């Protein structure tokens, strides 16, 4: 007896080389595992289940994977757009005033946004992660967590632009200690739903000595490393001033470039550097909306993937991207590369859908557990309402249009059900594990208090967004 059978649905398994569509398909779940995937007629005849879900006019597919998110930052969504010096002058004046309780409520807001738009796995890169991990436990989603390790001063917004960052070794060791504590407390917990990796923020943000220590710990414990790499001209400027080397050459000489590295952004990587990283087995996370808004750049993901590299998608954070919706990421992953190369065939819909599912799972080292609908894998999946006006009509012949429509038409609100680890955590668009109304209410009040505390810092920042406000454009 199975727990759940979903039948007569359009199923996208993400197996094989594309979407792996089964037009009248079914999926069977027992405990936290997928037991069977195939034609509805055969599965209904062979299996019985406690709950039968009619999938008529629905689509079943693997849950979406957000390979890189700073979940805490939702409380200052929209305050650092259309601006230069995004890190120091845009979000810096807000970030330094955040309290722990505001970090936690901001994280919950991001998780709710993600789940409601079909995300079942979050690779969160934040601080204090041991507290944020509780949010993922409560939400019932899958999480791959890293403590944000750096040696930067808290008053980053007060430094002169381009000035070499002063390092605080004590802060770096404390953050590394917290990452190790996170591993002890959370790695493999919640039935394996929560796992942890190491999280140096970027090669420009901590010393060689601390980077070396992290690399050795990665080897000792067999852990992946989640790190920003070539994250804009700011990072390259810091690296050349401090080491007389670009980031990728520096990391190569230190022995970081291998299959254990999750390299986020590659904003300023050259095409040759991107191809080199792919050949070294490095995994890439492409955060197109965030980098497009912050830097106006399309990172070299096309060259990376063409060279054989594995790449997933990430939303990054709300004050850079404005949202944590993976449907939005898929759409712009395709469109921005088509524009960049002036070629409508570049990055087709099936490719970016894989970058949010099975390729994403490979990029974060979880391809044996999630990312596709196959017997033996974890039961992480979403059900999408194909009767949503923007997804109508559904055609299967002569051309199956559902994959292009998911990527170019869907907005995330079409997600009707979310199942993680075999448990239904969202049904009829309603979250079952968290009190959305109460969290939104707390988030609004927390954001108001944060804005009050950050007021003078923002006024002194001179950020472009503030100038637009003062000149009456916002």
| pLDDT under 70: residue ranges of the chain | none
- The domain in which residue 423 lies consists of 2-62+374-431
Q: How far apart are CA 326 and CA 114, in angstroms?
A: 8
Which residues lie closer than 8 Å to 270 by C-beta, 6 or more apart?
A: 300
3-state secondary structure of 400: coil
pLDDT at 461: 87
Residues 58 and 68 in one domain: no
Whether residue 119 is found in the same domain as residue 40: no
Q: How confident is the model at residue 161, as a pLDDT?
A: 80
Which pLDDT value is given to residue 160?
83
Task: Give the span between the Cα atoms of 291 and 102, in whole angstroms.
Answer: 25
Closest by CA to 48, choosing from 64, 30, 60, 66, is 30
Cβ–Cβ < 8 Å for 134, 188: no
At residue 399, φ and ψ (nearest 5 deg) are -125, 130
CB count, 10 Å around CB of 343? Answer: 11
CA torsion sign, 250 to 255 to 258 to 262? negative
Whole-number pLDDT of residue 202: 97
CA distance 163 to 349: 42
Domain membership of residue 369 (yes or no) is no
- Same domain as 18, residue 72: no
Number of helices (H) and strands (E), helices first, in the chain? 18, 17
**pLDDT, position 155:** 81
The Cα–Cα gap between 183 and 2 comes to 33
| Domain total in the chain | 2
Residues 137, 38: Cα–Cα separation, whole Å:
31
Given this model, what pLDDT does residue 293 score? 92
57 shares its domain with 127: no
Output the pLDDT for position 141.
98
The pLDDT of residue 263:
98
Helix (H, G, I), strand (E, B) or coil at 277: helix
Note whether residue 443 is domain-resident.
Answer: no
pLDDT tens, residue by residue, 299-317? 999 999 999 999 999 999 9
Query: So what's the pLDDT on residue 92?
Result: 86
We report the CATH number of the domain holding residue 176 as 3.20.20.140
Prediction pTM value? 0.97
CATH code for the domain of 21:
2.30.40.10
> Does residue 269 lie in a domain region?
yes
């Amino acid at each position: 007896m199975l727990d759940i059978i979903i039948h007569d649905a359009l199923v996208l398994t993400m197996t094989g080389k594309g979407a792996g569509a089964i037009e009248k398909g079914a999926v069977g779940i027992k405990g936290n595992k997928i037991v069977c995937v195939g034609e509805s007629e055969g599965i209904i005849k062979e299996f019985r289940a406690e709950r039968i879900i009619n999938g008529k006019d629905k689509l079943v597919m693997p849950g979406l994977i957000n390979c890189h998110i700073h979940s805490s930052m939702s409380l200052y969504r929209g305050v650092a757009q259309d601006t230069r010096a995004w890190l120091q002058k845009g979000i810096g004046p807000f970030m330094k005033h955040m309290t722990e309780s505001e970090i936690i409520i901001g994280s919950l807001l991001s998780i709710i946004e993600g789940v409601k738009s079909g995300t079942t796995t979050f690779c969160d890169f934040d601080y204090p992660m041991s507290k944020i991990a509780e949010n993922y436990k409560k939400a019932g989603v899958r999480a791959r967590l890293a403590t944000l390790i750096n040696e930067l001063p808290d008053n980053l917004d007060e430094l002169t632009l381009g000035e070499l960052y002063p390092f605080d070794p004590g802060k770096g060791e404390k953050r590394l200690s917290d990452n190790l504590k996170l591993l002890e407390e959370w790695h493999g917990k919640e039935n394996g739903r929560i796992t942890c990796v190491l999280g140096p923020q970027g090669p420009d943000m901590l010393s060689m000595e601390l980077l070396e220590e992290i690399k050795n710990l990665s080897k000792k414990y067999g852990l992946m490393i989640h790190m920003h790499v070539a994250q804009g001209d700011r990072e390259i400027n810091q690296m050349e001033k401090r080491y007389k080397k670009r980031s990728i050459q520096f990391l190569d000489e230190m022995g970081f470039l291998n299959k254990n590295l999750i390299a986020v952004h590659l904003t300023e990587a050259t095409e040759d550097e991107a191809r080199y990283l792919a050949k070294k087995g490095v995994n890439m996370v492409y955060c197109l909306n965030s980098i497009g808004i912050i830097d106006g750049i399309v990172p070299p993901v096309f060259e990376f993937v063409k060279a054989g590299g594995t790449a997933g998608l990430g939303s990054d954070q709300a004050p850079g991207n404005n949202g944590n919706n993976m449907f939005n990421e898929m759409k712009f992953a395709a469109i921005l590369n088509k524009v960049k190369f002036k070629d409508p065939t570049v990055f087709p819909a099936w490719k970016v859908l894989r970058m949010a599912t099975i390729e994403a799972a490979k990029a974060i080292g979880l391809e044996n557990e999630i990312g596709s609908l196959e017997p033996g894998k974890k039961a992480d999946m979403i059900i999408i309402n194909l009767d949503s006006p923007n997804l109508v009509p559904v055609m299967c012949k002569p051309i199956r249009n559902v994959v292009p429509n998911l990527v170019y038409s869907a907005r995330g609100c079409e997600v009707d059900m979310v199942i993680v680890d075999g448990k239904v955590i969202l049904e009829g668009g309603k979250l079952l594990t968290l009190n959305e109304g109460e969290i939104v209410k707390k988030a609004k009040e927390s954001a108001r208090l944060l804005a009050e505390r950050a007021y003078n810092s923002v006024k002194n920042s001179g950020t472009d967004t503030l100038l637009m406000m003062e000149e009456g454009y916002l």
